[in-house]
């Protein structure tokens, strides 16, 4: 997840710490996902794994997804709260509405990705589910970061 240090560093210290901590936790969850599936970087199926490794991958996925969705939801809430704490920003402020809509779209997309991932897992295509989930999630976060988080962070100092 790309974070532009120059933009983030202009936030109030408490806001900066919160955003940085949550971005680091999100990045950590992506790293954990990457490390969980030994077939994430190749096109191998779970048949190349031991039954213990396969069971571990399948078992970790639901708790990983639960933790991720909770963190993303909390992070979006914090971003929106920081935006609304600015004197010129209200819920009717166009940039806030667009940013919030992007958050809502990401949450909907996350739910869709989760459904797709679990469908693949039910077909015992767990490695494919992990690859799909990791790629789509990484793309979502990077796109949001590029389009909204950097301009949002700049707007808090305007």
Q: Token pair of 142, please?
A: 């990077």
Task: Band the pLDDT of 152: cuts 50, 70, 90.
Answer: low
Distance CA 92, CA 97 (A): 7
Distance CA 120, CA 1 (A): 25
pTM: 0.77
Distance CA 116, CA 153 (A): 32
pLDDT of 72 over the 90 cut: yes
State the sign of the Cα–Cα–Cα–Cα dihedral 137, 143, 144, 149: positive
pLDDT of 158 over the 80 cut: no
């Amino acid at each position: 997840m790309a974070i532009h240090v120059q933009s983030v560093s202009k936030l109030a210290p408490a806001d900066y710490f919160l955003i940085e901590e949550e971005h680091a936790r999100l990045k950590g969850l992506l790293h954990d996902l990457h490390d969980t599936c030994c077939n994430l970087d190749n096109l191998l199926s779970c048949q190349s794994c031991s039954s213990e490794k396969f069971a571990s991958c399948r078992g970790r996925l639901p708790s990983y997804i639960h933790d991720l969705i909770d963190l993303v939801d909390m992070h979006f809430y914090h971003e929106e709260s920081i935006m609304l704490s600015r004197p010129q920003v209200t819920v009717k402020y166009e940039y806030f509405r667009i940013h919030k809509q992007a958050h809502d779209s990401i949450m909907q997309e996350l739910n869709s990705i989760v459904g797709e991932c679990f469908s693949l897992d039910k077909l015992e295509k767990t490695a494919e589910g992990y690859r799909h989930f990791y790629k789509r999630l990484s793309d979502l976060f990077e796109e949001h970061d590029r389009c909204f988080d950097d301009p949002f962070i700049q707007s808090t100092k305007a």
